Amino acid sequence: MSLNGSDTYRPRIGLTTYYQEASWGVWTADAAVLPGTYVQAVVAAGGTPVLLPPLGTDPSIVEVLDGLIISGGTDVDPEHYGAEPHRLTRAQPARDAHDIALTRAALEAGVPLFAICRGAQILNVAMGGSLIQHIPDVNPEADYQPAPGVFGSVEFTTAVGSISRDLLGPAAIAPCYHHQAIDRIADGLSVTAAAADGTVEALETTEDGWVLGVQFHPEQNPGDLRLFKGFVEAATSYRLDRRERSGNVHQHV
């Protein structure tokens, strides 16, 4: 698909990152960090990754992006949905503010938005929803975080007519790692995938546009890039539509 006189354009995909202590070579210092699996998945799906650390947050960055990924990570601070923190809740306030601001900017601009694990929770909270802070408190049999640093596996079914169903079919299995989950669904979102125990596995906008939040970790399954490819395709279409709208405006000036 040609956007600039060639067939090599790769849509620009923003990815939010951590900002915390990390090590490389002989150095240990604060750094912008993101698991390489996210970047690899974006590249493999045909996109150009653009990392967005939670410093110097500028929501207008969405104006130069073709798509935005809100990546996984630590818990969302319950102050954002009016709750007291659970004893096991661990939040990073600067990252919360960053991710919520970029999520709202992408929604307002209509930029395709793919929110993963914590990202899906950010999406729900940014739009007015709430979270279950510790799943075992309400579902003792749940096993979505088997051990520190060990991904679990979740099976789920998808809703007819959804992005989830279109890309994954009626049922799927994916890696997972989370101790929190979606509780009250925000206005403007609908549940489009759920596990057998009722845990929300996917949220999508009820309005126009490509908005998908998944509670699982598709980037941890490099052999199945269906969601990333669908997202990058949506980002490419968004880029085309934006260029066409811009061209029409210039023609009438």
Work out the number of other CB atoms within 10 angstroms of the CB of residue 214.
Answer: 28
DSSP for 123-173, written as a single string? HHHHTT--EES-HHHH-TT--S--BTTB-EEEEEEE-TTSHHHHHH-SEEE
> Among residues 98, 117, 179, 204, which one is catalytic?
117
| Residues 6+ away with beta carbon under 8 Å from 47 | 10, 11, 12, 13, 66, 67, 228, 232, 235
DSSP tag of 186: P
**SS3 call for 174:** strand
Q: Active site includes 80?
A: no
**What gap in Å lies between CA 185 and CA 183, rounded to an integer?**
6
Instruction: Name the active-site residue from 179, 204, 217, 233.
Output: 217
Strand partners, 193: 158, 202
For residues 157 and 20, give the distance between their C-alpha atoms in angstroms, rounded to a whole number: 36
Residue 176: active-site member: no
Q: Is 108 a catalytic site residue?
A: no
Marked catalytic residue, from 98, 176, 201, 219:
219
Q: Find where tokens 């993963």 sit.
A: 116
Written as six digits, the tokens of 109 are 């601009």
- Using DSSP's 3-state secondary structure scheme, residue 105 falls into helix
Question: Which residues form the catalytic set?
Answer: 117, 217, 219
